[in-house]
Amino acid sequence: MIEFFNMGGYAMFVWPSYAISALVLWLNWYLPRNQHRKLLRQLQSRHGSQQQ
């Protein structure tokens, strides 16, 4: 197990590579999703106020 995390002495290059990839891919998934939800909520409240 320790051997796995050590990556043959290259841990400080291998793991940051994977970490930053995961972070950037997550952001690209999360940000538009979040924005989409916000827009939907905005539109809903606007629509609601028009009907009243």
Partner 1 sequence: MFLWFHKFGSPPHFYRIAGKWIPWLSGLFLVLVTAGLFGGLIAAPPDYQQGDSYRIMFVHVPSAWMSMLVYVAMAVCGIIIMVWRMKLAEIVLISSAPIGASFTFLALVTGSLWGKPMWGTYWVWDARLTSELILLFLYLGIIGLHNAIEDKRVAARAVAILAIVGAVNVPIIHFSVEWWNTLHQGPTVTKFDKPSIYWSMLLPLLLMALSFQVYYVLALFQQCRAELLRRERNSKWVEEL
CB of 41 to partner 1, least distance (A): 11
Instruction: Compose the 19-38 pattern: x for residues touching partner 1 by CB under 8 A, - for all others.
Output: -xx--xx-xxx--xx-xx--
> Minimal distance in Å, beta carbon 48 to partner 1?
12
Q: Are 5 and 11 in contact (CB under 8 A)?
A: yes
Contact criterion met (CB below 8 Å) for 7 and 14: yes
- Using CB under 8 A as the binding rule, whether residue 2 contacts partner 1 is answered as no
Least distance to partner 1, CB of residue 51, Å? 11
Residues 52 and 47: their CA atoms lie apart, in Å, by 9
